[in-house]
Structure 1
Amino acid sequence: MKLVTFIHEGQTQIGAVVGDSVAVATLNIAHADSMLDFLASGQAGLEAMQNLIASGAHRLALNGVKLLAPIPRPGKLLGVGLNYADHISETGREKPEYPTFFTKQSTCVIADGQAIQVPSISEKVDYEGELALVIGNRCKNVPVEKAHDVIAGYTICNDVTVRDWQQRTPTWTLGKSFDTHGPLGPWLVTADEIVDPHNLGLKTWVDEELRQNANTGEMIFNCYDLIAYLSQVMTLEPGDVISTGTPAGVGVKMKPRGYLKAGQTVRIEIEGIGTLTNPVIAEPENFVVEPSR
């Protein structure tokens, strides 16, 4: 299933994309007030959504709704640095012994189609096409062989990074957390639809130029490794997002630099999930992020 959060007639709802329509879950099945509530309902919620889809009822045209990020405000939004060998090679760094996690603040999240902003204080804005996994079960100390059981599904993340601000602190947090620098979407594909998350083609274009072309099987620490390692430290909860790292081809390593500029468009495609597309604009004057719905 392709799970979505969307706005229709001013109301935020959730549902599932079926062809060119959306099966509306809000008010029609239990635990569907938000995607976080729905994911927390576990298998019962998934079965209810499947029954709703099978019924053919409560449909809206997909082009008649506004998609939000599938998880508009994750409780945790964590990224992983240096998780593809070719990216490590282009940066000149050593292969890490352990996963390198960092935090992106959840106010950076935007949806498919929304604009990435180049802030007035930096022109060094870079793209990073990534597979992101979403936690479905509250969990702690998850062994690698059980990690697949706690994944609700997968989506696409553009880990947009302001490179000069990234280097101002060893935690990277500020350079990873500018408003609009966390595109997620276009939907959340449930884990049962992804036979092997470690064999998916990943491509990133800036306008019509292919910048990244890789396979998720090239990750150093795979999805299950990341969950097992991270859950030794913290409880993971439904709706937490872990973006699994980017392959080679980022703008900072191009000659000349391939930083994003207003007027460009970034398009990330991951096999089995879909395409996340975001235009790039200059930061408007007096911009303030809208409250989470």
Structure 2
Amino acid sequence: MKISSYVLPGGTESYGRLEGDTVVDAGTTLRGTYPDLRALLAGDAIHRLASADGPSLPVSDVTMLPTIPKPDKIVCIGLNYLGHIKETGRDRPEYPSIFTRYPSSVVGHGAPLVRPKVSQNFDFEGEFTVVIGKPGRHIARDRAYDHVAGYTCFNDGSIRDYQRHTTQFWGGKNFWQSGSMGPCLVTPDELGDPTEPRMVTRLNGEIMQDTSVGDLAFDIPDLIAYVSTIIDLAPGDIIATGTPSGVGNFRDPKVFMKPGDTIEVEIDGIGTLSNPIIDET
């Protein structure tokens, strides 16, 4: 099952099944109990989406929101693809490198990514992303997948000069509407083995990043086990697992996103997250 969050014509936020170019608005019958997708996950009611009735609308008639519009936590992992570690000239880290993003820095599929006034060093980072479905703390590695609601695409848009101002990545990772998530959550039963999908990032149609999700240095069970030793994981929490090689900052010459560009992150079995680039006004 593929599940999207969106704004209906008229301005109501809702969610439903994504079926090709159509959304079936399950929120029509479920919003009274579960106002958004995060609440549905917290209520352990994702199974109700499969049979929930609602009107069918063309995707073009709704405005896509981030897969989880208001997650409690967005946890991002740095330097986690072996190819990306190599291109940075660093050693494989002993532990996952973690930073966080705020929900206000993330938009949905189709919404513009905003290059800030203060920098032109706006880079792309396609990422395979885990959505937590079951809460937990100190989750054992062999039980990690029990806590996964599904997977989605993420673009960890990065302002590289601000990222390098200090040793903390936070500054370059939280500019307003600089990242994106979507177009849907894909449940584990539909995706299958999460180490197999191919992930491709395209800038104006040109392939920039192309890898298997299996190239992770720390895999999904590693990340869930490690992160949950530090914080409690809650339904709707996001773990963006890192970006592969090919980012613009390590190209020669460097390649950064600019107004008029379109950036796409495509993952087998999930779909394509696409966003145009605009300048901050």
TM-score by length of 1: 0.92
Report the alpha carbon displacement of residue 213 of structure 1 after superposing the two structures with TM.
0.6
Paired position in structure 1 for 2:11: 10
Paired position in structure 2 for 1:290: none
1:212 is aligned, of 190, 209, 213, to 209
Paired position in structure 2 for 1:291: none
Q: Secondary structure at the match of 2:29?
A: coil
Paired position in structure 2 for 1:88: 85
Report the alpha carbon displacement of residue 144 of structure 1 after superposing the two structures with TM.
0.8
Q: How does 1:21-40 map to 2 (within 5 A)?
A: 21-29=22-30, 31-40=33-42
Report the alpha carbon displacement of residue 18 of structure 1 after superposing the two structures with TM.
2.2
Paired position in structure 1 for 2:139: 142
Deviations 1:110-154 (A, max 9, x none): 011111111110111100000011101111111111000101110
Code of the residue aligned with 1:62 in structure 2: it is: V
Q: Distance in 1 between matches of 2:203 and 2:23?
A: 29
For the 8 Å contact 1:145–1:224, the answer to whether it is kept is: yes
Q: Distance in 1 between matches of 2:207 and 2:48?
A: 40
Report the alpha carbon displacement of residue 82 of structure 1 after superposing the two structures with TM.
0.6
Q: Does 1:174 align with 2:189?
A: no
2:159 is aligned, of 134, 157, 162, to 162
Deviations 1:163-185 (A, max 9, x none): 11111122211110001122000
Deviations 1:209-259 (A, max 9, x none): 111010000001011110001101110001110100011000001111111
Sequence identity of aligned pairs in percent? 38
Q: Does 1:77 align with 2:79?
A: no
Q: Distance in 2 between matches of 1:40 and 1:109?
A: 21
Q: Secondary structure at the match of 1:28?
A: helix
Q: Does 1:188 align with 2:185?
A: yes
Give runs of ≥4 in structure 1 deviating > 4 Å.
none
For the 8 Å contact 1:27–1:33, the answer to whether it is kept is: no
Code of the residue aligned with 1:33 in structure 2: it is: P
Change (3 A) 1:112 1:75: same
Deviations 1:62-111 (A, max 9, x none): 32222111111211111111111111111111110111111112210101
For the 8 Å contact 1:25–1:32, the answer to whether it is kept is: no
Q: Distance in 2 between matches of 1:41 and 1:217?
A: 31
Paired position in structure 2 for 1:287: none
Code of the residue aligned with 1:10 in structure 2: it is: G
Structure 1: unaligned runs, 5 residues or longer: 285-293
Q: How does 1:236-251 map to 2 (within 5 A)?
A: 236-251=233-248
Structure 2: unaligned runs, 5 residues or longer: none
Paired position in structure 2 for 1:50: 50
Report the alpha carbon displacement of residue 260 of structure 1 after superposing the two structures with TM.
1.1
Q: Secondary structure at the match of 2:87?
A: helix
Q: How does 1:230-269 map to 2 (within 5 A)?
A: 230-269=227-266
Q: CA RMSD in A?
A: 1.3
Change (3 A) 1:121 1:156: same
Code of the residue aligned with 1:112 in structure 2: it is: H
Report the alpha carbon displacement of residue 60 of structure 1 after superposing the two structures with TM.
2.7
For the 8 Å contact 1:31–1:41, the answer to whether it is kept is: no
Q: Distance in 2 between matches of 1:181 and 1:241?
A: 16
Code of the residue aligned with 1:80 in structure 2: it is: I
